Copies of this chain bind each other. A is one copy, B any other.
Amino acid sequence: MLLGSIEAGGTKFVCAVGDGDFRIKTQTVIPTTTPAETLAATIAFFKQFDLDAIGIASFGPIEIRQHAKDYGYITKTPKPGWSQTDFVGPIKQALGCPVAWTTDVNGSAYGEYVMAGLTNAQLNSLVYYTIGTGVGAGTVINGQFLGSLGHPEMGHVPVKRHPDDRDFAGICPFHHDCLEGLVAGPTFDARVGRPGRDVPLNDPVWDIMSYYVAQAAVQTTLTIRPDKIIFGGGVVSEGFLQKVRRDFDMLLNDYVSVPSLEDYLTMPLMANNGSATLGDFALAAKELNRQ
Q: Which A positions have Cβ atoms within 8 angstroms of B? A: 61, 124-125, 139, 141, 146-161, 174-175, 177, 215, 218-220, 222-227, 251, 253, 255-259
User: What is the distance, in angstroms, from A42's C-beta to the closest C-beta of chain B?
Assistant: 27
Is there contact, CB below 8 Å, between A225 and B148? Answer: yes
Q: List 19 A-B contacts (CB under 8 A).
A: A124-B148, A125-B148, A141-B148, A147-B225, A148-B225, A152-B223, A153-B256, A154-B222, A154-B223, A155-B222, A156-B222, A156-B255, A157-B218, A157-B219, A158-B218, A158-B219, A159-B160, A161-B161, A175-B255
User: What is the distance, in angstroms, from A63's C-beta to the closest C-beta of chain B?
Assistant: 10
CB-CB under 8 A from A149, the residues of chain B are: 225-227, 256-259
Question: What is the interface of chain A mostly: helix, strand, loop, or mixed?
Answer: loop
Is there contact, CB below 8 Å, between A223 and B227? Answer: no
Is there contact, CB below 8 Å, between A215 and B175? Answer: no
How far does the alpha carbon of A177 sit from the alpha carbon of B215 in the complex, in Å?
13
CB-CB under 8 A from A155, the residues of chain B are: 222
> Which of A155, A215, A224 counts the most B-chain CB atoms under 10 A from its CB?
A224
Is there contact, CB below 8 Å, between A146 and B224? Answer: yes
Q: Which residue of chain B is the closest to A67 with respect to CB atoms?
A: B122
Is there contact, CB below 8 Å, between A158 and B156? Answer: no
Is there contact, CB below 8 Å, between A227 and B148? Answer: yes
> Which of A158, A219, A256 counts the most B-chain CB atoms under 10 A from its CB?
A158
CB-CB under 8 A from A218, the residues of chain B are: 157-158
